[in-house]
Amino acid sequence: MGQPEPPIFPRGLALLVAGALFMEILDATVIATAIPAMAESFGAAPVDLNVAISAYLVTLAVLIPVSGWVAERFGVRRVFLAAIVVFTLASLGCAASTSLPMLVAMRIGQGVGGAMMVPVGRLAVLRTTGKGELVKAIAYLTWPALVAPVLAPAIGGAIVTYTSWRWIFVLNLPLGVIGFVFALRLVPPGRGGTARRLDWLGLAATALGIGAVLVALESIRVSGTPWARVGVEIAAGVALLVAAVWHLRRVEHPLLDLDVLRIPSFRSTALYGSIYRAVITAVPFLLPLMFQLWFGWTPLAAGLMVMALFAGNIAIKPTTTPLMRRFGIRGVLLWVGVATVACFGVLALLVPATPLVLIALTLCLSGALRSIGFTGYNSLAFADVGSGELTDANTLHATAQELFSGVGIAVGAIALTVSAGVVADLGWTAGREYSMAFAALGVVMLVIVWGAWRLPRDAGAAVTGWR
């Protein structure tokens, strides 16, 4: 009896899920550029619009842990299609919002759709991809996280400058319709009906813990941060998450099966890959602020320069898989970490008089490094995960990604806040706080280098074919 043929790489399905992830991430980040215009439209203070960003991120992080159970209960195809519909209709509601409370409610609706759309779609891709093609699948699923945050400042600036902020959400409507049509054809049918009961206590503790931490981190600003409230919220969130871990370790059918953390490659990604994501996500947050508030550039000029990161992402993308197959995931992550530390050093040296070409080249290199790093960690995450553990591993991985993407913004804000205080105390030139912030991120990157050094030489060889 012959051996079964390995699954064929579902390129169309991977592109569909990547497109959904791109739409979700772009929607989460592009709104920041439109905050002043939206505040004027609603007659609110710009700072009050932060709740519209927080509501979306918190809803995503809170509901992603239950996405695995929902997919098993109702079937991947059915949940993915429903998620697209919910996200698209909520986008229409955002565009039609006449008040801030209405916008927040619609943003929560977008979060509900996004929490089910991307993790469930990624699960569909992973289930239909053989180990030998996993690196290729991960490469397809990684580019939205690299491209969307970089394009967002320029897209948001252009939309707000030449049209209305409502078009940010209107653009999701045709994308949602196209995605739904392609999903009907590309997402394989599957049966739900799992007999496993939903872990309501685990869901409550995890959701409240993640929500409290993210709400606290979203409250951190360069100035005017309510530190007492932030401290209480973080303490409460950590306490709830500790209680959640204690519960998940003991219940028969946990919301998240933490046993997947016993897999060394997955555990390394959950720890060092999450820290890496937080540090790298802080860069597109700090750069537009530095260019506008220190260098004196316009929002559109700052957004266009940040797109140099996108150029680096695209330029290096065809070589990420060959690099991992030639040098192994450990070797790639190790040297990417070292090069990123050096890159942060260069970013810390930038000043308003720095030639534009040198700034663009530095950002292009940074974009290339983040592309390789993200692909490496995402490939390592599922390298040794068995088919029976994919649902739990995918859910836990998606939750960590969303959580630490939000943490990354706070990391950048905290670094900037502390640096501004140090610069003021030392009497240095205003603007040097950005230099110190980038230098601080470079120091944190040394933790990533240490994590890559500790990996076994053959880490991820099952998916890269490295010998």
Closest CA to 218 of 107, 143, 294, 295: 107
List pLDDT tens digits, range 324-345.
Answer: 888 889 999 999 999 999 999 9
List pLDDT tens digits, range 73-127.
Answer: 888 889 999 999 999 999 999 999 999 899 999 999 999 998 888 888 888 887 7
List pLDDT tens digits, range 343-355.
Answer: 999 999 999 999 9
List pLDDT tens digits, range 19-76.
Answer: 888 888 777 777 767 777 788 889 887 667 767 877 787 788 778 888 878 888 888 8
| Distance between CA atoms of residues 21 and 452, nearest Å | 27
Residue 199, helix vs strand vs coil: coil
| Distance between CA atoms of residues 333 and 324, nearest Å | 9
Structure tokens given for 167: 């078009």
Alpha-carbon distance values, 152 to 160, 248, 259 (Å):
12, 37, 37
Closest CA to 442 of 302, 294, 286: 286
| Distance between CA atoms of residues 111 and 258, nearest Å | 24
pLDDT above 90 as % of the chain: 32
Q: What is the pTM of this model?
A: 0.78
| Distance between CA atoms of residues 430 and 448, nearest Å | 30
232 with 357: CB under 8 angstroms? no
147 with 21: CB under 8 angstroms? no
| Distance between CA atoms of residues 220 and 178, nearest Å | 38
1 — pLDDT class (breaks 50, 70, 90): very low
For residue 260, the tally of other CB atoms under 10 A from its CB is: 23
Say if residue 444's pLDDT is above 90: yes
List pLDDT tens digits, range 159-210.
Answer: 877 888 899 899 889 989 999 999 998 888 766 665 578 888 988 998 888 8
- Mean pLDDT, residues 444-460: 92
Closest CA to 71 of 84, 80, 61: 80
211-236: b or e for each residue (b if 16 or more CB lie within 10 Å)? bbbbbbbbbbeeeeeeeeebeebbee
146 — pLDDT class (breaks 50, 70, 90): low
pLDDT in the model for residue 3: 45
| Distance between CA atoms of residues 292 and 198, nearest Å | 48
